[in-house]
Amino acid sequence: MLKQFRPRTLKVPLVRWNSVLPSRTPDASDASATKCYEGLYKPPDRATWMEALTERNRQLAQGKVLDSYSFLTPKTTAVGEKTRGDSFSYTLLPFKDDKWLCDSYINAFGRLRVGTLFQDLDSLAGKIAHSHCSPAEPMNVTASVDRIYMVKHVDEMFKFNFVLAGSVTWTGTSSMEISVKGYAFEGEYPSEIVEANLPKENVFLTANFTFVARNPETHKSFPINRLLPVSEQEWLEYRRAESHNSQKKLRAKSESLEHTCPTSEESKLIHSMWSASKEYGDSKALTHGSTSLSFMKDSEMSSTLIMQPQFRNRHSYMIFGGYLMRQTFELAYCASAAFAKAPPRFVSLDSVAFKSPVPVGSVLYMRAQVVYTEHIHDPSETSESHNSDSFARAFELAPANSFSPNKESFLSSPGTLIQVKVNTSVKSLDHETHKESGSFIYSFFVPRDVEGDETPGYCSVIPKTYSEMMEYVEGRRRAYDTARYVRQIS
C-alpha cells in the first residue's frame, strides 16, 4: 500500500528591516537584496515588469523617454535640513539564530558569501538616501562606491548575528555620502538599535556610497536637503567626507598612469620585472622556492550575462547596482581562487564609479584579471627565505601592507594579497557599440598555510607586456591607498 505523500512547507528565511515589511514606505529597497528575500515583499510603489514595459512603450510611441515608472514627479522642490538620525536605518541578519538565513549567505567553504551582502549594503544605502530626501521623491541612483573594507574576519559567520546600519554623513547640492557599517554580535542584539548603541569594537565592515539625486521630469540634478551635524563627532566625519569628496577627482587624475608617468622608483620596478619575466618564457605554471608564479595573461576570466527584470532597481528600467557588484565580485572571486589554487578571503573593494547605467534587457560583459600581488611575511621569516629566487628579488620595493599583530585582522598571518580588476561594459541588443560601465577593484587574502596543503607558500603574478606592467604599478598605488585608509580607521 502506497503511503500518502505530503509536500513539505518551505520555510523562507526573513531579512529583517527596521520597518515592518507589509507597510514599508515607497523608498525603498531595490530589487531582491538576496535569494532569501525574493518573493517576500511586493512594495506598493513597484510595478510588475509587464506594467512597466507597457507604460514605457506607450511613452516611447509619444516621443517621450521614461526613466522611472514609480517616481514620475519629485512632489516638492523645497530644501530643508535633516540630521543623521533622520536617515539612520538598519538591517538585521540573525545568522546565529536562523540557520536557514545563514544557509542563504554561506559559501562553499563555510564562510560568508560576500557578494550577497553587497546587495544588502546597496539596498540599505538606497533606503537611507530616500529617507534623507523625503518628503521629496527624486530619482536617487548609486554614483559610486567609495570603499568597502573588511575590518576583521568573521569566518565562522554562523556564530554571529549581524546588523548593517548607516546614515547620510555628508551632502552636497544634489549628492550625498552614505556610510554603512556591519556589526557582528555573538549574543543578543542591543535592546534598541540606534547608532549610539552599536559598539565600535563590534564593527567588522565599513562601506561608503555616493548617491546623486535627479529630477525625474527634467532629468537634471535635483537639490536635496542639507545635512545638519549635531555633535562634535558628526562634524568631524562631515569635514572628513567633505575633504574626501573635494580631493577625489583631483587624486584620481594625479594618481592615474594615464595622466602621470611612473616615478623613478616605479620605473626601476618595471625594468626589474621585465628582466625577471624573460627568464620564464611562456610556461603557464611555475614554482620557485615557496612561491607559485603565474603570468598575468593566464589569470584572465570573463563572463557575459543578459540583464533580467528580476534584478531591476526601484525605478524599474535599470539594473540594481548591488546586483552588478555581486556579479563582478563572484567573477573576481573565481579568478582569485583559480590563481591561488585556494579559497580567498575578501578584504576590500576600492573606489568604483558607475560610468553608465545598465538597462534591463542589455548584455553585460565582464572581464576579470589578477593585476597585483603582495606578500605578507611573518616577522620571524628571514629576508633570504622569501627572496630565494630572481623574480622575488625583482620586487625590492617595500610592500604597501605589513604583518598585523591584531589577531582579528586578515593580515595577522603570512600570505598573499591578490588584487583583481574587473572591467565591465554594456551593450544594447539594437546597437553594435559597447559602453564602458565601470571597473571594480577587489582585494583578496590567501593565507600561506592552507589547511590540508603540505606545501604552503605564496603566489605571484608576472606581468610581461608594458600594458600589464602599468596595471601592476597602478595596483601597487591602490594597495598603498588602501593601507592609508586602514591606518585612518584603526
- Convert the pLDDT of each residue in 241-259 to its tens digit: 888 777 776 666 666 777 7
pLDDT at 62: 83
pLDDT averaged over every residue in the chain: 82
Cβ atoms of residues 227 and 82 within 8 Å: yes
Whether 6 is in a domain gets the answer no
More confident residue, 337 or 17: 337
Number of H helices, E strands in the chain: 9, 17
Q: Rg for the chain (alpha carbons), in Å?
A: 24
CATH number at residue 298: 3.10.129.10
Alpha-carbon gap, residue 413 to 447, rounded angstroms: 7
**291 and 232 part of one domain:** no
**106 and 66 part of one domain:** yes
Whether 10 is in a domain gets the answer no
Q: Contacts for 404-412 with beta carbons within 8 Å, 24 or more apart? A: 406/152, 408/152, 408/153, 409/152, 409/153, 410/150, 410/152, 410/153, 410/345, 410/347, 410/445, 411/376, 411/445
**Residue 429 CA to chain centroid, in angstroms?**
28
End position of a domain, from candidates 195, 220, 251: 251
**245 and 126 part of one domain:** yes
**364 and 439 part of one domain:** yes
**354 and 482 part of one domain:** yes
pLDDT at 15: 46
**476 and 446 part of one domain:** yes
Whether 238 is in a domain gets the answer yes
Whether 9 is in a domain gets the answer no
**What region does 299 belong to: left with phi over 0, alpha with psi -120 to 50, or beta?**
alpha
End position of a domain, from candidates 232, 251, 270: 251
End position of a domain, from candidates 228, 251, 274: 251
Among the ranges given (187-191, 455-459, 466-470), the one the predictor scored with the smallest mean pLDDT = 455-459
Domain region containing 27: 16-251
Whether 139 is in a domain gets the answer yes
**316 and 412 part of one domain:** yes
Count of domains for the chain: 2
Whether 1 is in a domain gets the answer no
Model confidence, pTM: 0.85
**64 and 197 part of one domain:** yes
pLDDT at 311: 87
pLDDT at 5: 38
For the cut 80, the answer to whether the pLDDT of residue 71 exceeds it is no
- pLDDT grade for 302, boundaries at 50, 70 and 90: very high
**198 and 136 part of one domain:** yes
- pLDDT grade for 3, boundaries at 50, 70 and 90: very low
Whether 266 is in a domain gets the answer yes
Beta strand residue intervals within 94-244, DSSP E: 139-150, 161-171, 175-185, 203-214, 226-227
For the cut 60, the answer to whether the pLDDT of residue 432 exceeds it is yes
**247 and 267 part of one domain:** no
Share above pLDDT 70 across residues of the chain, in percent, rounded to a whole number: 80
More confident residue, 244 or 182: 182
Which stretch of DSSP H or E encloses residue 415?
strand 415-427
Share above pLDDT 90 across residues of the chain, in percent, rounded to a whole number: 43
Whether 7 is in a domain gets the answer no
Q: What is the mean pLDDT of residues 133-154?
A: 90
Most confident of 1-15, 106-120, 350-364: 106-120
**242 and 271 part of one domain:** no
Which candidate, 31, 45, 42, 37, places its Cα nearest to that of 13?
A: 37
**471 and 330 part of one domain:** yes
Can you tell me which residue has the cell 570603499? 147
Query: Which amino acid is it at 171?
Result: T
